[in-house]
Amino acid sequence: MAVASMGVLSDLELKDLFGEGRIASSNALDADQIQPASLDLRLGETAYRVRASFLTGAHRSVEAVLREPGMELHRMDLSQGGAVLETGCVYLVPLMETVDLPEDVSGRANPKSSTGRIDVFTRLVTDYGKAFDDIPAGYRGPLWLEISPRTFSILVRPGDRLAQLRLRRGKPQNTSEIIVSIDMDMPDGQPVGWRAKHHAGLIDLKKIAGHEVADFWEPLFPHKGRLVLNPEDFYILASREAVEVPLQQAAEMAPIAPELGEFRAHYAGFFDPGFGTNAGGSRAVLEVRSRDVPFILEHGQPVAKLIYEDMSAPPSAPYGGKTSNYQGQGLKLSKHFA
């Protein structure tokens, strides 16, 4: 019997896990739910507004924590036309997908690109979990998504896909990293970024290209090649470098390293094999928030690290097909905007 290769699992291997019952769902899979190196996760039918974010710890399930006095503040049925998740609140939603992972397969979750670009903070929660977004090897049980809209309130329904899951066999294989810097030199008077407007309207996740940019964003133009970030404002910026992910590798944008500045770049971290391999390449779009003090960004300033690791096998369908919204992108808002 052949020994299974180590590394990030491809779309074909994810399909095999579904066939073996290692990944299951309460609903049939969407046609485009399996990505080249990740699986989109779908919201279930109930949202719980909770008092605060939490980790279950080694001895509790998520449901056990929700039953604790004062933890659940409100329960919403998403199946009757959806529900609004408001800014400044923390919600917990069971996902349609559950897992029964092999002993050598672990998982890691991240917000989808479109989720991060509207400043919706998500984290995967498991039973008996010691860390957000991580699924230990051999885990068997339900998956929950913590959702906290930061700038815009959102209308969600069952089946909406705010996060994605990447599975890995064994430990990270042959990792390498590059530094990504900021672009403050757009041509022909084009903005170098966008700043989210406070007190904007509601974003309906089902309305693709259905929201006017001017209602939610203001364009940014640098002064002498620099921008001053206001504390806690939310910005969309672009990398100076074109990013390319070979078919034999997957990549993740890591949270900002402390030595690179007092801000966080990029909530949504997965880059699938084939990203940026089109003619002309693709920029990395960065979701940026200054932490506690105003912070100056200048052209070419390092802002994040992109970490590459080997796939266990190349995907059958690389990133860039009909359902890829961001192949060939420059500075681009989420798919929800016209």
pLDDT at 36: 95
pLDDT at 218: 97
Same domain, 95 and 241: no
Residue 290 near residue 265, CB atoms below 8 Å: no
Same domain, 139 and 259: no
Same domain, 258 and 233: yes
- Total structural domains within the chain: 2
Same domain, 137 and 187: no
Model confidence pLDDT, tens digit, residues 231-285: 889 999 999 998 899 999 999 987 655 555 556 665 558 999 999 887 667 888 9
On whether residue 12 sits in a domain, the answer given is: yes
**Which ranges of the chain have pLDDT less than 50?**
1
Residue 252 near residue 109, CB atoms below 8 Å: no
On whether residue 256 sits in a domain, the answer given is: yes
On whether residue 294 sits in a domain, the answer given is: yes
Domain boundary among 152, 169, 186: 169
pLDDT at 1: 41
Same domain, 271 and 305: yes
Domain boundary among 151, 169, 187: 169
pLDDT at 253: 87
Report in angstroms the alpha-carbon separations of 83 from 51, 156, 240.
18, 6, 38
On whether residue 100 sits in a domain, the answer given is: yes
On whether residue 255 sits in a domain, the answer given is: yes
Element (H, E) at 62: helix 62-66
Same domain, 38 and 129: yes
Quote the distance between the C-alpha of residue 110 and its chain's center: 4
Same domain, 26 and 153: yes
Q: Determine the length of the chain.
A: 338
Three-state DSSP state, 216: helix
Give me the domain span that covers residue 128.
Answer: 7-169
pLDDT at 30: 95
Q: How many CB atoms lie within 10 A of CB 75?
A: 10
Same domain, 92 and 237: no
SS3 string, 274-338, reads CCCCCCCCEEEEEEEEECCCCEEEECCCEEEEEEEEEECCCCCCCCCCCCCCCCCCCCCCCCCEC
Same domain, 164 and 196: no
Q: What angle do CA 191, 118, 162 make, to 5 degrees?
A: 140
Of the candidates 161, 129, 125, 164, which has an alpha carbon nearest to the alpha carbon of residue 145?
125
**How many helices (H) and strands (E) in the chain?**
4, 25
On whether residue 241 sits in a domain, the answer given is: yes
Domain boundary among 107, 140, 169: 169
Same domain, 96 and 23: yes
Give me the CATH number covering residue 61: 2.70.40.10
Model confidence pLDDT, tens digit, residues 320-330: 765 566 665 77
Structure tokens at 23: 């990944």
Same domain, 41 and 148: yes
Report pTM: 0.93
Same domain, 164 and 192: no
Element (H, E) at 236: strand 234-243
On whether residue 262 sits in a domain, the answer given is: yes
On whether residue 333 sits in a domain, the answer given is: no
